[in-house]
Amino acid sequence: MDLLERAFVETLKERLGAGASITLTNNRRTFISIRRLGGLCQIRVSRRFALADGPTVDGLVSYLKGETRVLPKAVRGFMNSASSPEPLKRKSLKKLKTAGEFHDLAEIADLVNSQYFGGALSFRIAWGKAPAKVKRRGGSITLGSYDCGLNLVRIHPALDMADVPRRFVEFIVHHELTHKKLGARIGENGERRVHGPVFREMERGFEDYETVRKWEKENIHFILRARRKLKSSSGDAKASK
């Protein structure tokens, strides 16, 4: 925790009172979490708020105190525009990999950006890392994500397989670039709204939309199995070092 973060935590403790427990997090999806236990209040808040201006901190304090049930406009605006802390950003952007064994993300991203967004979007893209923990059967999988703080699209490495059509990878990249184009909207209760009507309309603008969605539905079991194999291979590689 640096000096700026320490000062931010001390400010919150002073204004919220002795019953408040403050934990700073690096969570890029949940900026604010509040748990009330009797007279105690356990608060987890993104360390990005240490960079917020006075009105934003005032609004945050008001919300944490329960003086308003609606997340203040200044706080929502900050959450929409906040960048990742520099140390976290540098760590996350090290050794980005775009060339897979079967699919080249840089090539795919250039094509999708040009075809659907007029080549106007600027971003990074990379294969994500194999998951640290995977359920043996079933479960769900996040095939792609867009981190606005890092301006980075990540694609799940389970899609870098010979049996995964390139067109499907293009669709996942298109989905994440639509997030980049539209951004997330922070609701009055602090929830991030990312798949609204405008998003869905743009997503359906992808050529062969129905075909790729059908392929996904029919092959999700194959993708989940590939994910489990990735985890197994990763463990074997570490053990052999």
Tokens of 40: 């105690």
Average pLDDT of the residues in 100-127: 95
Model confidence band, residue 39 (pLDDT cutoffs 50, 70, 90): confident
Q: In this predicted model, which residue has the larger pLDDT, 133 or 23?
A: 23
Whether the Cβ atoms of residue 75 and residue 49 lie closer than 8 Å to each other: no
pLDDT value of residue 99:
93
Residue 152 has pLDDT above 80, yes or no: yes
Average pLDDT of the residues in 31-36: 84
pLDDT value of residue 196:
79
Q: How far apart are CA 149 and CA 226, in angstroms?
A: 29
Residue 183 has pLDDT above 50, yes or no: yes
Residue whose pair of structure tokens reads 């060339």 in the numeric block: 99
Q: What angle do CA 2, 4, 22 make, to 5 degrees?
A: 85
pLDDT digit string, tens, across residues 195-212: 778 889 999 999 999 999
Residue 241 has pLDDT above 70, yes or no: no
Residue 162 has pLDDT above 90, yes or no: yes
Mutual angle of helices 105-117 and 166-182, in 10-degree steps: 60
CATH code of domain 89-240: 3.30.2010.10
Mean pLDDT rounded to a whole number for the chain: 81
Long-range contacts for 225-228 (Cβ within 8 Å, ≥24 apart)? 226/158, 226/161, 227/130, 227/131, 227/134, 227/141, 227/156, 227/158, 228/134, 228/136
For the chain, the distance separating the N- and C-terminal CA atoms, rounded to the nearest angstrom, is 33
pLDDT value of residue 237:
33
pLDDT value of residue 158:
93
Whether the Cβ atoms of residue 103 and residue 169 lie closer than 8 Å to each other: yes
Q: In this predicted model, which residue has the larger pLDDT, 241 or 66?
A: 66
Tokens of 136: 């043996």
Average pLDDT of the residues in 207-227: 92
Is residue 119 exposed (0-12), middle (13-18) or buried (19+ Cβ within 10 Å)?
exposed
Work out whether strand 40-46 and strand 20-25 pair parallel, antiparallel, or are unpaired: parallel
In what order do the strands lie in the sheet containing 40-46?
20-25, 40-46, 32-37
Residue 189 has pLDDT above 70, yes or no: no
Cβ count near 28 (within 10 Å): 17
pLDDT value of residue 164:
95
Reference 79, options 188, 175, 198; nearest CA is 188
pLDDT value of residue 240:
30
Q: How far apart are CA 2 and CA 104, in angstroms?
A: 39
Ordered by start, the domain boundaries in the chain are: 3-82, 89-240
Residue 110 has pLDDT above 90, yes or no: yes
pLDDT digit string, tens, across residues 54-107: 888 999 999 888 888 888 888 887 887 665 555 555 555 667 899 999 999 999
Q: What is the pTM of this model?
A: 0.62
Is residue 212 exposed (0-12), middle (13-18) or buried (19+ Cβ within 10 Å)?
buried
